Structure 1
Amino acid sequence: MPLNRIVLYVRDLEATVTFYERHFGFRAHRDDGDRIVELVSSAGGASLMLHPAAKGQKSGQSTVKLVFDVEDVEAFAARGAKDGLEFGALHRADGYAFANARDPSGNPISISSRAFRKNELTVG
């Protein structure tokens, strides 16, 4: 069974919508009377369901990190920096690179080239 939706609890709904639209190519879908905004990616994959956080919910404390597959982590991070998205240090591990940041509600995100690494078990 595929994973199709991920719920993110956010403090600033509009800032978070703008963040994922600007930096990761999502587009917002809103239903009248629904407080959840669904972000759909033109590249496919899971949708992000942005849900307003409860007043007592702590911001940015999570056991989940969103990871976006990008072939060139350095180039993506450099483009993001020009548009106000600051990533931490570039890390390299086992044939791929990744860098971390947070969305406007403090949710951890990462860009990673892991999906594009050469699998040593592949024949040919």
Structure 2
Amino acid sequence: MKAKLSDVILYVRDVDNLKKFYANHFGFQVIEEDSVWALLDAGNSSIGLHRMGDQYLQQSDSDHPSDNNTKIVFEIDQDIRTARAEMISRGIKMKEIKTFESYDFWLCDGRDPEGNVFQLKSRKTNSSDDAPY
């Protein structure tokens, strides 16, 4: 079997808030939505935002992002320093830029308003192979 990523679905507290976050900061278009669901066009795949069930909403504390084991990675065609600075200027929490030996990309993690981790990934070029900070 050969597979390709079609969608990533996040179960969230506030569909509308995260829909606006990903549309405003990543330029994703909403392709489907209703009161408990939004589907965003993220290029070669889609991001689905599904409202958590009431039983989980009551257990969740929206003021404290929970740890999770999901990270959405967005490859960008912009300098990672510039992209990170833009995100920070918009009030988005971003970690430091990093890379790995023999890896062709710069990486920088951030969190959306509900604490879901996303990563910006920018290809190294010959002129910027040195540390970008």
Normalized against structure 2, the TM-score is what? Answer: 0.73
**Whole-Å Cα distance in 1 between the matches of residues 32 and 13 of structure 2?**
17
After superposition, the Cα gap between the structure-2 partners of 1:11 and 1:84, relative to the gap in structure 1 and judged at 3 Å, is: same
Give the deviation of 1:100 after TM superposition.
1.0
Unmatched 5+ residue regions in structure 2? 126-133
Q: Name the structure 2 match of 1:108.
A: 117
Shift in Å, 1:117: 4.0
Q: Give 3-state SS (helix, strand or coil) of 1:93's partner.
A: coil
Deviation at 1:38, TM superposition (A): 0.4
Give the match for residue 52 of structure 2: 53
Report the Cα offset of residue 73 of structure 1. Answer: 1.3
2: CA distance, partners of 1:37 / 1:97: 30
Match of 2:83 in 1: 76
Matches within 5 A, 1:1-124: 1-31=3-33, 35-41=36-42, 44-54=43-53, 55-56=55-56, 58=60, 60-71=66-77, 72-94=79-101, 95-113=104-122, 116-117=123-124
Aligned residues: 113
Correspondence for 1:121: none
The answer to whether the 8 Å contact 2:15/2:37 transfers is no
1:61 is displaced (CA, Å) by 3.0
Seq. identity, %: 27
State the Cα deviation string for residues 59-92 of structure 1 (Å, max 9, x = none): 6332110011124211101112222223111113
Partners of 1:81 and 1:96 in 2: CA distance: 20
* SS of 1:39 mapped into structure 2: strand
Q: Residue 24 of structure 1 aligns to which amino acid in structure 2?
A: F
Deviation at 1:101, TM superposition (A): 1.1
1:90-120 C-alpha deviation (Å, 9 max, x unpaired): 113234321111111211111112xx247xx
- Give the gaps of 5 or more residues in structure 1: 119-124
CA shift, 1:2, in A, is 1.7
- Whether the 8 Å CA contact 2:6–2:44 is kept in 1: the answer is yes
